[in-house]
C-alpha cells in the first residue's frame, strides 16, 4: 500500500516536471507555469498508470525509474497536445 502511494506521488511530481520541461522547450505552445504543471500532473498520472499496466502484466512492477520515465514523458506529451490544440483554436478564431 505504501509503495503504491509513493509511486503515485512520484508519478504526479514527475509529470509536473515533465510538463514544465516541455513548456520550456516548446515556448510557442506553453500553457504558462500553472497550466504546464496541471497538464503535466494529469499526464504524469495517466502515463505512470499506462506504463505500470503495460509492464506490470509480465515483468512485475516498473519500479521507481520506470515510474519517473513514464510519468515525465506522459506529462510532457499531454502538455504538448493541449498546447497544440489551444494554439490551433486561437489561430482559427
Q: What is the pLDDT of residues 35-82, one digit of tens each?
A: 999 999 999 988 877 876 776 654 455 667 777 888 999 999 999 999
Is residue 44 within 8 A of residue 19, CB to CB? The reply is yes
The residue with greater pLDDT, 57 or 10, is 10
Which pLDDT value is given to residue 5?
84
Measured distance CA(27)–CA(7) in Å, rounded: 30
Pick the range with the lowest mean pLDDT from 7-11, 47-51, 54-58, 88-92: 54-58
- What is the full DSSP assignment across 10-57? HHHHHHHHHHHHHHHH-GGG--HHHHHHHHHHHHHHHHHHHHHHHHHH
Which pLDDT value is given to residue 61?
56
- Name the strand (E) or helix (H) holding 62: none
Which pLDDT value is given to residue 85?
95
Cα Rg of the chain (Å, integer): 14
Which pLDDT value is given to residue 80?
95
Measured distance CA(56)–CA(78) in Å, rounded: 22
- Is the pLDDT at 4 greater than 70? The verdict is yes
Place of cell 514527475: 14
Which pLDDT value is given to residue 39?
96
What pTM did the predictor assign?
Answer: 0.83
Amino acid at each position: 500500500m505504501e509503495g503504491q502511494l509513493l509511486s503515485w506521488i512520484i508519478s504526479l511530481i514527475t509529470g509536473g516536471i515533465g510538463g514544465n520541461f516541455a513548456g520550456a522547450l516548446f515556448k510557442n505552445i506553453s500553457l504558462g507555469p500553472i497550466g504546464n504543471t496541471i497538464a503535466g500532473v494529469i499526464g504524469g498520472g495517466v502515463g505512470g498508470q499506462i506504463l505500470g499496466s503495460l509492464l506490470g502484466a509480465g515483468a512485475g512492477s516498473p519500479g521507481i525509474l520506470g515510474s519517473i520515465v513514464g510519468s515525465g514523458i506522459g506529462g510532457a506529451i499531454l502538455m504538448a497536445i493541449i498546447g497544440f490544440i489551444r494554439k490551433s483554436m486561437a489561430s482559427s478564431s
